[in-house]
């Protein structure tokens, strides 16, 4: 198999291969509870928008510190429907970053908006909020800060720009379930937030799923309508919508996993501390937590100018890492019409050439992590030794 950056990945199933993410050990540990959730839903007599979805909506919203949750089919749909619920119309500008997963930008375009990018901070890879005010135009209607890699954008500075101008703020929380800023959780730091339950996420399902979280009752009601053909549960459409419903099976599994989320986060943070200790003198640039943030380490992202050579050497040792993200969205052919040229977002573009993500998931064993660290130390030392 070839990765997105063209590198050859070790053959699937090869003995000893250590991957950047693997759910199988976690599944074995939680299998009884997961199968009990499936059996409960199958016996309930309700497979779509039943008590499991309603329960997860209540529980995740409350856990975040918000009033309402609306379960939808994916994290991308959560962004699209939230943007539509906030009133984004064709031609409205939405400010975000290019150092993000494609769905952030795809959702803006799908909702009718025009993405406008600001650059990122070098140390955290988060939105550089000092550039926001200059990016606002008379067509700006929304800002989408991406809480990337497991920590929050500086939301006080985002709100300072948005609040006085009547601009909506929608948090992209796909990578930040459980993250906190100044003691408040991601998902309750703005008018609305979009979560993804893609399997790799901090709170992940066994397939796609997403949720819009908000304390605005009218917005929640509109998103519920939009997720079901624009209806209020009758065979009558109040407005144009489409089908995007979180299913009962995944909702019940997620309800049970939500009770374990604090433990998942604690383990991720413990793994991050072990990486910090082992790699502090490695020559790699390690993750930096912004002031006031509690980082949940959806990804543990390191940086080195010889990134591609390091990844090749790791693959030769059956250690598969990942690049999030190898191509900034503004450089992609699909978004060339937005008019951004190479060089227009320098920090974003430099990061794309140097960053990579190390294995990070709660069931990663200490011995497996030690193997990654030992390999990295050896590889980087060799690369930095003249004539080696």
Distances (CA, A) of 291 to 90, 109, 294, 364: 37, 32, 9, 28
| List of domains in the chain | 27-258 (3.40.640.10), 261-383 (3.90.1150.10)
Q: What are phi and psi of 275, to 5 degrees?
A: -60, -45
Burial of 215 (0-12, 13-18, 19+ CB in 10 A): middle
Give kind and range of the element (H or E) at residue 207: none
For the beta carbon of residue 285, count every other beta carbon within 10 angstroms. Answer: 16
Retrieve residue 370's tokens. Answer: 């030690």
Exposed e or buried b for every residue in 44-83, given b needs 16+ CB within 10 A?
eeeeebbebbebbbeebbebbbbebbbbbbbbbbbbbbbb
- For residue 387, what pLDDT is reported? 62
For 283: left if phi > 0, alpha if psi spans -120 to 50, otherwise beta; the answer is left
What is the C-alpha separation between 272 and 270, in angstroms, rounded?
A: 5
- For residue 137, what pLDDT is reported? 98
What is the C-alpha separation between 245 and 313, in angstroms, rounded?
A: 43
Retrieve residue 46's tokens. Answer: 């309700």
Distances (CA, A) of 244 to 113, 194, 248, 288: 20, 14, 13, 36
What is the C-alpha separation between 183 and 364, in angstroms, rounded?
A: 28
- For residue 6, what pLDDT is reported? 44
Distances (CA, A) of 252 to 41, 98, 121, 176, 195: 7, 34, 38, 21, 16
Closest CA to 194 of 217, 233, 220, 218: 220
What is the C-alpha separation between 228 and 352, in angstroms, rounded?
A: 38
Task: Point out the residues of the chain with pLDDT beneath 50.
Answer: 1-15
Q: What is the pLDDT of residues 166-224, one digit of tens each?
A: 999 999 999 999 999 999 999 999 999 999 999 999 999 999 999 999 999 999 999 99
Q: What is the pLDDT of residues 1-27, one digit of tens each?
A: 344 444 444 444 444 899 999 999 999
Closest CA to 226 of 216, 239, 215: 239
What is the C-alpha separation between 73 and 232, in angstroms, rounded?
A: 18
- For residue 106, what pLDDT is reported? 98
- For residue 188, what pLDDT is reported? 96
- For residue 164, what pLDDT is reported? 86
> If you write DSSP's letter for every residue of 137-199 in order, what string do you get?
-TTEEEE--B-GGG----HHHHHHHHHTTT-EEEEE-TT-TT-EETTEETTSSSSEEEEE--T
- For residue 254, what pLDDT is reported? 98
User: How far from chain centre, in Å, is Cα 169?
Assistant: 17
314 in helix, strand or coil? helix
> If you write DSSP's letter for every residue of 221-254 in order, what string do you get?
HHHHHHTBTTBSSSS-BSS---B---BHHHHHHH
Pairing relation of β-strands 210-214 and 93-97? unpaired
* Residue pair 170/82 in contact by the 8 Å Cβ criterion: yes
What is the C-alpha separation between 28 and 152, in angstroms, rounded?
A: 32
């Amino acid at each position: 198999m070839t990765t997105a950056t063209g590198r050859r990945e070790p053959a699937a199933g090869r003995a000893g291969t250590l991957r950047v993410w693997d759910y199988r050990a976690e599944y074995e540990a939680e299998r009884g509870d997961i199968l009990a959730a499936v059996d409960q839903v199958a016996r309930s007599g309700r497979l779509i928008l039943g008590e499991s979805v309603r329960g997860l909506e209540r529980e995740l919203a409350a856990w975040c510190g918000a009033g309402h949750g609306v379960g939808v089919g994916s994290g991308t749909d959560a962004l699209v429907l939230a943007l539509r619920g906030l009133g984004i119309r064709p031609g409205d500008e939405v400010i975000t970053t290019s150092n993000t997963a494609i769905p952030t930008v795809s959702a803006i375009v799908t909702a009718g908006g025009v993405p406008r990018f600001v650059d990122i901070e070098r140390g955290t890879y988060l939105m550089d909020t000092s550039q926001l005010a200059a990016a606002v135009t008379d067509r700006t209607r929304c800002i989408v800060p991406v809480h990337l890699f497991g920590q929050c954008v500086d939301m006080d500075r985002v709100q300072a720009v948005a609040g006085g101008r009547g601009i909506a703020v929608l948090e992209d929380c796909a990578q930040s379930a459980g993250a906190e800023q100044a003691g408040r959780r991601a998902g309750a730091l703005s008018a609305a937030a979009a979560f993804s339950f893609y399997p790799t996420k901090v709170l992940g399902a066994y397939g796609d799923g997403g949720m819009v979280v908000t304390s605005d009752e009218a917005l929640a009601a509109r998103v519920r309508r939009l997720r079901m053909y624009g209806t209020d549960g009758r065979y009558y459409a109040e407005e144009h919508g489409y089908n995007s419903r979180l299913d009962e099976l995944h909702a019940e599994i997620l309800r049970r996993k939500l009770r374990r989320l604090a433990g998942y986060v604690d383990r991720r943070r413990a793994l991050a501390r072990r990486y910090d200790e082992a790699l502090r003198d490695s020559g790699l640039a390690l993750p930096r937590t912004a002031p006031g943030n509690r980082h949940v380490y959806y990804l543990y992202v390191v940086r080195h100018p010889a990134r591609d050579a390091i990844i090749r050497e790791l693959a030769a040792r059956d250690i598969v890492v990942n690049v999030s993200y190898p191509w900034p969205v503004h450089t992609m052919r699909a978004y060339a019409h937005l008019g951004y040229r190479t060089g227009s977002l320098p920090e974003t573009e430099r990061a794309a050439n140097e960053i990579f993500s190390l294995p990070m998931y709660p069931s990663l064993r200490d011995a497996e992590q030690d193997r990654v660290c030992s390999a990295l130390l050896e590889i980087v030392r060799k690369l930095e030794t003249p004539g080696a």
